[in-house]
Amino acid sequence: MAFFEQHIHDAPTTFLSKYVISFDHKVIGKQFLWYGILFLGIGGMMALMIRWTLAFPGEPFPVVGHFLFPNTNGVVPPDTYAMLFTLHGTIMIFYAITPILIGAFGNFCIPLMIGARDMVFPTLNMLSFWLAVLSAVILLVSLFTPLGGAAGGWVSYPTLSTLIGSPGIGQTLWCLAIFVLGVSSTMGAINYIATIITLRAPGMGYFDMPLTVWGLWLTAVLNALFLPVLGAGVLLLIFDRVFGTTFFLAGAAATTGSGDPVLFQHVFWIFGHPEVYILILPAWGIVSDLLAFFSRKPAFGARATALSMTSITVLSTVVYGHHMYTTQMSPLLTQSFMMLTMTISIPSAIFFANWLGTLWKGSIRFQTPMLFSLGVVFVFGLGGLTGLYLATVSTDLYLHDTYFVVGHFHYTMAASVLLGGFAATYFWFPKMFGRMLNETLGKIHFWISMVGLNGVFMGMMIVGYAGMHRRIYNPFVYEFLQKLIPLNMFITYSAIFMGFGQLFFVANFVYSIWKGPKATQNPWEVGTLEWTIPSPAPHYNFDVIPVVKCGPHEMGNPNLNGRDFQYQTEELA
């Protein structure tokens, strides 16, 4: 027996071994999906509270306000506001997007798409999920500690995050939660890297892998390299807070010796910049695949797309300084970082052009996953272009820490990734649960989300350009910002509209799991390996390990008879 065939164990029978302590990559993927969607809801509610405060300062938050904030008659208090934006960022990045894109679709898609029966380290996989749960519990517990949860921003810069800035235990628990989550994600990354290197089906070279797998693999590499950097940072912060070390304390804050608060910023962004690519790379891969599948054409320049994603991965490690132009960095350094950052636009432009090339003259099917993928093309284009203003030192000095930054990174990290995640959910739902999601509800969900999020994030960029700073409880105490009240109200209404649209998704998702129409083996008519097996994917995926004979997007070939796609297991027509 060759190694890639993997032993087949009996299917688990008890509830505990089947759904809770499962070693099966498909079940772990679904667990991560539920986990991510739960936190997406929590983070989204927090976003609505932030938006409410900014549009209607001093007015009680509707419906649940009186229950949540009884001391202030339902108005979000300033300290809670700081906690809300801190935890909104933390939860969305580490507990919603990471589990959905990397945890859920990484686990579910990698073995299926490369023709493997499971991950190489199933136990590590199981531990990775349960450590993520432990981390989530720590984070949620921190909300109920005497002084509340962390409130120093999701970046937790000292001195705000030291004992002087946040004396409560909430910040310590935040650091601990992030550390545990880092361990969990690193475990996942080790698993993904080893699986993709060793378990590709016979005949599948690296360029025969679907681009989804490319994206996930590059993400795993960045995760394994840079999460430990953040781990070291929060570990030192924990030591500063618990054992009285002085790494990040300086000036009057330090009783003896002297640390350096800016050191944390360096450490944070050495991790933090790769992190934004950790979040976006899986979405890029998924979109590159889906655009080809629904245009019924081979992906234009698939090899170039894969290579430009790789070069972005490499470049992403050397540009972190553009987050710190205002920390009195030497001009020589800021200019170097500016140039390196601008360099990223070359590979980005290459794969973006490839996306457009894929769409060009395709016979496009506007099904829900395709709509979401096209949405990603639009919002990522906008997000990428506005990034140029922030990479340039001269414009960044003005725009730094304004809502322009918030709008920009929400376009790239939130809107693109969220739409990419939804595209993936609509696309792989049949293979996950064996049923189809409702197309009409999906399309309503798409249009509401698309209009809503553009209203929110475009509005944010405008108010930011007008000078409104982020993280201020009530910006309208400043006279020059009072004219922005109507625009802020528009943003908030857009956010509420978008939040309302998600109800369609939740209803559709929950209903379709049990009551949706049964999915056929290959509902989207595409040729990658996961569609050669029944829906939902059976225990241990493949009866016989497939032999790969062509690339993942061989579609619309005139030599094909009767259908316009071919499976990866078939000789190229």
Considering only the stretches 266-274, 347-355, 369-377, 479-487, report the one whose residues sit in contact with other proteins under the rule CB under 8 A. Answer: 266-274
Considering only the stretches 69-77, 163-171, 258-266, 290-298, report the one whose residues sit in contact with other proteins under the rule CB under 8 A. Answer: 258-266
DSSP per residue over 193-250, as a string?
A: HHHHHH-PPTT--GGGS-HHHHHHHHHHHHHHHHHHHHHHHHHHHHHHHHT---SS--
Considering only the stretches 166-174, 223-231, 332-340, 502-510, report the one whose residues sit in contact with other proteins under the rule CB under 8 A. Answer: 223-231
65 binds other proteins (CB under 8 A): no
x/- track of binding to other proteins for residues 151-190 (CB under 8 A): -----------------------------------x--xx
147 binds other proteins (CB under 8 A): no
Find the binding residues for other proteins in span 98-137 (CB under 8 A).
120-121, 124
Tokens of 332: 């020589």
Q: Nearest Cα to 87, choosing from 180, 177, 168, 165?
A: 177
231 binds other proteins (CB under 8 A): yes
194 binds other proteins (CB under 8 A): yes
- Closest CB to other proteins among 194 and 444? 194
User: How many Cα atoms occupy the beta-carbon half-sphere of 515 within 13 Å?
Assistant: 6
Q: Which of 27, 101, 267, 461 forms a contact with other proteins (CB under 8 A)? A: 267
- Closest CB to other proteins among 39 and 121? 121
270 binds other proteins (CB under 8 A): yes
DSSP per residue over 124-181, as a string?
A: HHHHHHHHHHHHHHHHHHHTTSTT-B--STTTT-TTTTSTTT--STHHHHHHHHHHHH
Q: Which of 198, 363, 394, 474 forms a contact with other proteins (CB under 8 A)? A: 198
Q: Nearest Cα to 447, choosing from 500, 406, 407, 490?
A: 500
Find the binding residues for other proteins in span 3-32 (CB under 8 A).
3-4
Shortest reach from residue 94's CB to other proteins, in Å: 17
233 binds other proteins (CB under 8 A): yes
Q: How far apart are CA 509 and CA 506, in angstroms?
A: 5
- Closest CB to other proteins among 246 and 392? 246
Q: Which of 62, 244, 517, 534 forms a contact with other proteins (CB under 8 A)? A: 244
Tokens of 569: 């297991």
Classify 6 in phi/psi space as left (phi over 0), alpha (psi -120 to 50) or beta. Answer: left
CA trace torsion 535, 541, 544, 546 (10° rounding): 80
Going by the DSSP 8-state scheme, the letter that residue 60 receives in this structure is P
User: How many Cα atoms occupy the beta-carbon half-sphere of 146 within 13 Å?
Assistant: 4
Q: Which of 104, 201, 211, 236 forms a contact with other proteins (CB under 8 A)? A: 236
Dihedral pair phi/psi, residue 518, rounded to 5°? -60, 135
- Closest CB to other proteins among 226 and 542? 226
CA trace torsion 404, 409, 412, 417 (10° rounding): -140
- Closest CB to other proteins among 63 and 252? 252
Q: How far apart are CA 242 and CA 302, in angstroms?
A: 50
Residues that bind other proteins (CB under 8 A): 1-4, 120-121, 124, 186, 189-191, 193-194, 197-198, 224-229, 231-233, 235-236, 239, 243-247, 255-260, 263, 266-267, 270
